[in-house]
Amino acid sequence: MMQQTEHSFSYNIFLIGFMGSGKSTISDYLSEHYAMEKIEMDQTIVQNEGMSISEIFDAHGEEYFRNLETNLLIQLQNKKNVVISCGGGTPMRENNVRQMKKNGKVVLLMASPETIYERVKDSHDRPLLEGNKNTAFISDLMEQRRPKYEAAADLTIQTDGKECAAICEELIQKLMELEKRL
C-alpha cells in the first residue's frame, strides 16, 4: 500500500460514472484511508431538499434535480482535498463538467453492464432504473452516455474484478502522474 495519507490534494477529486460503477464505495475508501473530506452529491441533495431522489423526480422532475446538481457543484468550488461522488447523470451537462474542472480532476469509473446490474438490482432509489433493471437497458444507456463520460474524464479506471484498495491505489498513482505532467 502506498503511503499517501500525508498527501493533501490542492484540488477536489470528482468521481463520475454510471449508476453502480462504485463511486460511493471508492469515495468512502479514499476519505477513510487518504484523509480526504467526502461529499456524496445525491446524499447532500436529499438532505438539503428533505426528500428522496425518487420523491424529487416525482414532485419536480429531472430538470429540477439537474439544476440542484449544478448549484451544488458551484458551491463546492471553494473547497479542496475533497472527494466528491457525483450522481451518474451529473456529467451529462457540459456546464457541470466546466464547474468541476474549475477546481477539480475528474475520474471516470467504468464497469461492465453485468457488474452494474449485480450492484443495482436490489435497490429502489434510482428512478431511471425502476422497471428497467436489465443488462440490455443498462448497456444502451451506458453507450448513450459514454461520449460525455469520456469527454469529461481526466483519467479513467476500469473497475471490473478489482478490489477497492487496488482501484484507489491506481487512482492516486494516476493522479500523481497527471500532476507531474502539468
Distance CA 104, CA 106 (A): 6
Least distance to ligand S3P from the beta carbon of 27, Å? 10
Nearer to ligand S3P, 4 or 56 (CB): 56
Q: Does 113 bind ligand S3P (CB under 6 A)?
A: no
Would you call 143 exposed, middle or buried from its count of C-beta atoms within 10 A (0-12, 13-18, 19+)?
A: exposed
Least distance to ligand S3P from the beta carbon of 87, Å? 3
With CB under 6 A as the contact rule, the residue among 87, 91, 104, 113 that binds ligand S3P is 87
CB 16 within 8 A of CB 109: yes
CB proximity list for 2: less than 8 A, separation 6 or greater: 169, 172, 173
Nearer to ligand S3P, 38 or 126 (CB): 126
CA dihedral 124, 25, 11, 147 (to 10 degrees): -60
Cα–Cα distances in angstroms (integers) from residue 126 to residues 18, 19, 54, 149, in the given order: 11, 8, 7, 19
- The footprint of ligand S3P on residues 12-51 (CB under 6 A) is 19, 23, 42
Nearer to ligand S3P, 23 or 105 (CB): 23
| Beta bridge partners of residue 37, listed in sequence order | 82
With CB under 6 A as the contact rule, the residue among 12, 15, 36, 89 that binds ligand S3P is 89
Nearest alpha carbon to residue 94 among 54, 168, 152, 142: 152
> Biggest alpha carbon distance in the chain?
47
With CB under 6 A as the contact rule, the residue among 13, 26, 53, 84 that binds ligand S3P is 53
Least distance to ligand S3P from the beta carbon of 36, Å? 18
Nearer to ligand S3P, 89 or 104 (CB): 89
- The footprint of ligand S3P on residues 118-147 (CB under 6 A) is 126-128
Binding footprint of ligand S3P on the chain (CB under 6 A)? 19, 23, 42, 53, 87-89, 126-128
